């Protein structure tokens, strides 16, 4: 379906958002505001999305089911949240059915699905990243560790839900990490091979670019908080909170990232016959020697996406459609409001190891009514008794915008404090790095 905004009355279309987290709620929330969108469907969605769109019980990894749904509903654009369906070929199957998809093909999704592929790709195209070697054998891997100095960075090659990275301070820990990945299969089949790489010092940022297969435009940056508890302590998680913009990503750094990392990647993938359509998420280390790539993801970050959606002033639907249809250079560049946004993740007690689900959550409406606040659902379920209950690890995202980051953070916590949920917890120091700078 091609839309010609401005050319008479453009037909309004149905969109399908794939996924069920806070990222997908934020995407659905933003897309629903588009004058081009008639209805937002979500598969499988969540109770928050159900308030603004129609949720259909098809799983986010069920490629055949999603294609059948998009066909049956006459969907004009599928917007894919999580990487699993992309790695399984959802974009390819939709393309075969003639349905526009925001999200890369299986071949382009290798950028996230295989660290070894990405490291080799970066080397071929001169993209700045940590020096590395790939191993499938523990003896050679350990011999290589013997030639290097701490800290050691040991990674499982494949998709490991963001957990397949061990930063070891001693040789002993590094050797143990090699054994855990290759022999004990701590990360399952993601650990057939391991990558050992140079430790990069610096500050991390999440950088986003929209891509249409040939070109790319910057789409903002954010900073996440990966550890579970205050003070960056505790186990690694999918992300406990984020803010955007990221002060460390200055306009000069943004230009450098586009020129040295994003555009060479998009052109390199096109030249290798794997054009990338969707959002490229570069996990960066802003080192004293400039930005370096830690990893690519082929989707929006969660919870970074929530902060971007709150700040975006452009209509999202035509931008995503332009990516899917290879027309990005003709589209208006995305614009963001000047006010920062902070997102606080509320997680179920026990997250990330064994989150306790089923606890009752009250006060979400009250929180959403607080100044500057919007609440996105990440892992909730609405039961027949009318109660909202925790149904996942990360459960709610309380977002707020404000004139300054400090005010955005205060507003977000004011929202959090209206939520009555003894079964949950959150970090109380989201934004500390930017606020203390
Ligand atoms: P990844 O799953 O590749 O994003 O890695 C998880 C986390 O490990 C990153 O967010 C960084 O904090 C850290 N990390 C990964 N690779 C490196 C590296 N080469 N140097 C320093 N820290 C790293
Ligand atoms: N928040 C980091 C990620 O989505 O991978």
Q: What is the pLDDT of residues 161-196, one digit of tens each?
A: 556 788 999 999 999 999 988 877 777 666 678 889
For the stretch 260-298, pLDDT in tens is: 999 999 999 999 999 999 999 999 999 988 999 999 999
Q: How far is the CA of 12 from the centre of ligand 2 (A)?
A: 32
Number of H helices, E strands in the chain: 16, 23
- Provide CB contacts within 8 A for 302, sequence distance 6+: 21, 22, 23, 81, 238, 239, 378, 394
Q: How far is the CA of 238 from the centre of ligand 2 (A)?
A: 6
CA 366 to chain centre: 27
Average pLDDT over the chain, rounded to an integer = 94
Q: For residues 1 and 324, is the Cβ–Cβ distance under 8 A?
A: no
As a whole number, mean pLDDT of residues 84-107 equals: 97
- Shortest-distance ligand to the CA of residue 394: 2
* Helix or strand holding residue 250 (H, E): none
- Shortest-distance ligand to the CA of residue 205: 1
Q: For residues 15 and 79, is the Cβ–Cβ distance under 8 A?
A: yes
Does residue 363 have a pLDDT over 50?
A: yes
Does residue 432 have a pLDDT over 60?
A: yes
As a whole number, mean pLDDT of residues 360-382 equals: 98
For the stretch 117-130, pLDDT in tens is: 998 999 999 999 99
As a whole number, mean pLDDT of residues 94-119 equals: 94
What does the pLDDT read at residue 184?
Answer: 74
Query: 222, 229, 423, 227: which is closest to 303 by C-alpha?
Result: 222
- Shortest-distance ligand to the CA of residue 223: 2
Q: For residues 263 and 48, is the Cβ–Cβ distance under 8 A?
A: no
Q: How far apart are CA 257 and CA 376, in angstroms?
A: 30
**Structural domains in the chain?**
14-103 (3.40.50.20), 131-198 (3.30.1490.20), 201-330 (3.30.470.20), 341-435 (3.90.600.10)
Take atom 5 of ligand 2 and give the residue whose Cα is closest.
301
Mutate which of 82, 222, 238 to test ligand 2's pocket (most atoms within 8 Å of Cβ)? 238
- Helix, strand and coil percent figures for the chain, each rounded to 5: 35, 30, 40
As a whole number, mean pLDDT of residues 151-169 equals: 79
pLDDT bracket for residue 159 (50, 70, 90): low
What does the pLDDT read at residue 408?
Answer: 98
Strand duo 54-55 + 37-44: pairing: parallel
Take atom 15 of ligand 1 and give the residue whose Cα is closest.
294
What does the pLDDT read at residue 8?
Answer: 46
Does residue 229 have a pLDDT over 90?
A: yes
Residues with CB under 6 A from ligand 2: 162, 224, 238-239, 297, 301-302, 304
162, with CB counted inside 10 A (0-12, 13-18, 19+), is middle
CB atoms closer than 10 angstroms to residue 5: 14
57-71, 146-160, 184-198, range with greatest mean pLDDT:
57-71
pTM recorded for the entire structure: 0.93
Take atom 3 of ligand 2 and give the residue whose Cα is closest.
301
Residues with CB under 6 A from ligand 1: 130, 153, 162, 165, 167, 197-200, 204, 226, 283, 294-295
For the stretch 383-402, pLDDT in tens is: 999 999 999 999 999 999 99
Q: Which atom of ligand 1 is the closest one to the Cα of 201?
A: 21
Query: 349, 362, 352, 312: which is closest to 333 by C-alpha?
Result: 312
* Helix or strand holding residue 310 (H, E): helix 304-311
Q: Which atom of ligand 1 is the closest one to the Cα of 163?
A: 2
């Amino acid at each position: 379906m091609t839309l010609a905004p401005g050319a008479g009355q453009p037909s309004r279309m149905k969109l399908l958002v794939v996924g069920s987290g806070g990222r997908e709620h934020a995407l659905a929330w933003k897309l629903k505001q588009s004058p081009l969108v008639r209805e937002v469907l979500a598969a499988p969605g969540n109770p928050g999305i159900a308030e603004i769109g129609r949720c259909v019980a098809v799983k986010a990894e069920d490629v055949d089911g999603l294609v059948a749904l998009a066909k049956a509903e006459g969907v004009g654009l599928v917007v894919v949240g999580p990487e699993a369906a992309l790695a399984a070929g959802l974009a390819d199957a939709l393309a075969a059915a003639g349905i526009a998809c925001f999200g890369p093909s299986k071949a382009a999704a290798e950028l996230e699905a295989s660290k070894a592929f990405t490291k080799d790709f970066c080397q071929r195209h001169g993209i700045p990243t940590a020096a590395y070697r790939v191993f499938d054998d523990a003896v050679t891997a350990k011999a290589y560790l013997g030639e290097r100095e701490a800290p050691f960075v040991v990674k499982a090659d494949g998709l490991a839900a963001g957990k397949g990275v061990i930063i070891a301070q001693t040789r002993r820990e590094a050797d143990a990490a090699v054994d855990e990945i290759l022999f004990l299969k701590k990360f399952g089949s993601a650990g057939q091979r391991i990558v050992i790489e140079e430790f990069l010092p610096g500050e991390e940022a999440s950088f986003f670019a929209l891509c249409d297969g040939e070109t790319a435009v910057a789409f903002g940056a954010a900073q996440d908080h990966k550890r579970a508890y205050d003070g960056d302590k505790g186990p690694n998680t999918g992300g406990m909170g984020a803010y955007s913009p990221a002060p460390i990503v200055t306009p000069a750094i943004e230009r450098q990232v586009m020129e040295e990392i994003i555009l060479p990647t998009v052109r390199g993938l096109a030249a290798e016959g794997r054009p990338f359509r969707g959002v490229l998420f570069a996990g960066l280390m802003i080192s004293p020697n400039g930005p370096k790539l830690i990893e690519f993801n082929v989707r929006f970050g969660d919870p970074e996406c929530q902060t971007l959606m709150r700040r975006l002033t452009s209509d999202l639907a035509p931008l995503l459609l332009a990516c899917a249809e290879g027309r990005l250079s003709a589209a208006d560049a995305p614009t963001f409001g000047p006010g920062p946004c902070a997102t606080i993740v509320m997680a179920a007690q026990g997250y990330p190891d064994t989150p306790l689900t089923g606890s009752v959550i009250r006060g979400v409406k009250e929180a959403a009514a607080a100044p500057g606040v919007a609440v996105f659902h990440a892992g909730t379920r609405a039961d027949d008794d009318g109660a909202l209950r925790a149904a996942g690890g990360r459960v709610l995202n309380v977002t707020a915008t404000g004139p300054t980051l400090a005010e955005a953070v205060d507003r977000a916590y004011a929202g959090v404090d209206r939520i009555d949920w003894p079964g949950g917890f959150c970090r109380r120091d989201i934004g500390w790095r930017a606020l203390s700078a």
